[in-house]
Copies of this chain bind each other. A is one copy, B any other.
Amino acid sequence: MSQARQPPLALSCPLPISDYPKVTLAHGGGGRLTHQLIEKIFVPCFSNPLLEQRHDGAIFAVPPGRLALTTDSYVVHPLFFPGGDIGSLAVNGTVNDLAMCGARPLYLSAGFIIEEGLEMETLWRVARSMRAAAAAAGVAIVTGDTKVVDKGKGDGLFINTAGVGVLEHERVIAPASVRPGDAVLLSGDLGRHGVTIMAEREGLAFESTIESDCAPLSGVVLALLEAGVEVRCLRDLTRGGLGTTLLEIAEATRLEITIEETQIPVCEEVRGACELLGLDPLYVANEGRFIALVAPESAEQAVAIMRAHAVSAASGRIGTVGAAGAAGTIGRGRAVLKNRLGASRLLDMPSGEQLPRIC
């Protein structure tokens, strides 16, 4: 689905739906108003032949290959933030989960849970944003659902997306494929999404200079796979950030993963904000960053391909997977951060909640 094929959309919510400036419980009742909401907002925004079947589901043929299915709900607060909104996040987040499975994202579903009283213009703005994000990522939103909950029983808008993608290769991209000696590549600087949300929420002064890194990662991942890079494992660095992700892989593989602090880019504004807020950029959520664990002989080629894509222009190698049975890894893996002085510390998972409702 290319952007060019889509008709232009009005900036404001179309009539007659804007006779209702706010969403009412009746818009979720399955009757006339539900139909109007679907016909006037979702159908024009997500416009595609599958959605226009107006069935209980979408029916399609898929190209040969294994399939991936993934889902995420999005409850980010606030709904709009520099660099994105809940709509672009809901599309890119699920596109990225499919990409991390090594799949080409094809089709998305969208489930809306709306709190009674949401401004209709807000819903229109979010749906427009989803349309643009879907076009940019090359996916179609083919089926959906709308529920309305009474005032005080939701928080404006929650969105669930599920996605189906196809694997056009035979690789097993998973922790089980990781081998000692693999290179750990990072696609860019850390912490932009999490710090942007915190800044918006707290009204902090640095908010004007940082934007969320929210972006689709399927283009660069498919390029790596098509080039024949020996990709072993992929993970986007959302909730929990780089630290938690590395530890998850280390624990699943029972290997030791060592990364070099000096190789991990964090921009000045994010670093400053994290100091102010008492956060560690290693654990702050990103929405457009990923790590690729690749065979050592593929590392250089992989970094070159990643740098050729705008979403991962600042890619580099940040570490290496160590041998099994390294000191302290008996029975379980570990992730080690080497700082600029050469000292090492073990990474742990955060036990509390650093940043609620970040995505």
Task: Give A residues with C-beta under 8 Å from B.
Answer: 24-26, 28-35, 53-62, 66-75, 96-98, 100-101, 103, 107, 109-113, 142-145, 147-150, 152-155, 158, 160, 162-165, 167, 174, 235-236, 238-240, 244, 252, 285, 349-357
When the two chains form their complex, are residues B53 and A60 in contact, meaning their CB atoms are under 8 A apart? no
**A356-B164 Cα distance, complex, nearest whole Å:** 31
- In the complex, A337→B74 CA distance in Å? 43
Q: Pick from B29, B160, B165: contact of A111, CB below 8 A.
A: B160
CA distance A240 to B30 in the complex (A): 5
CA distance A72 to B174 in the complex (A): 29
Q: How far is the CA of A125 from the CA of B302 in the complex (A)?
A: 46
A156 to chain B, nearest CB (A): 9
Cα–Cα, bound, A142→B113 (Å): 23
Point out the residues of chain B lying under 8 angstroms from A68, CB to CB.
Answer: 57-59
Could you show 7 A-B contacts with beta carbons less than 8 Å apart? Answer: A26-B351, A29-B353, A57-B70, A59-B66, A69-B142, A113-B158, A113-B160
Contact (Cβ within 8 A) B153 A353: no
- State whether B113 touches A31 (Cβ < 8 A): no
Min CB gap A77→B, angstroms: 8
- Contact across chains for B153 and A32 when beta carbons are under 8 A apart: no
Residues of chain B within 8 A (CB-CB) of A35 are 349
**Once the chains bind, are B111 and A356 in contact (CB under 8 Å)?**
no
Chain B residue, CB-CB nearest to A285: B30
Query: Looking at the complex, which one of B28, B67, B152 makes contact with A61 (CB distance below 8 Å)?
Result: B67
Chain B residues with CB under 8 Å of A160's CB are 71, 73, 111, 113, 145, 160, 162
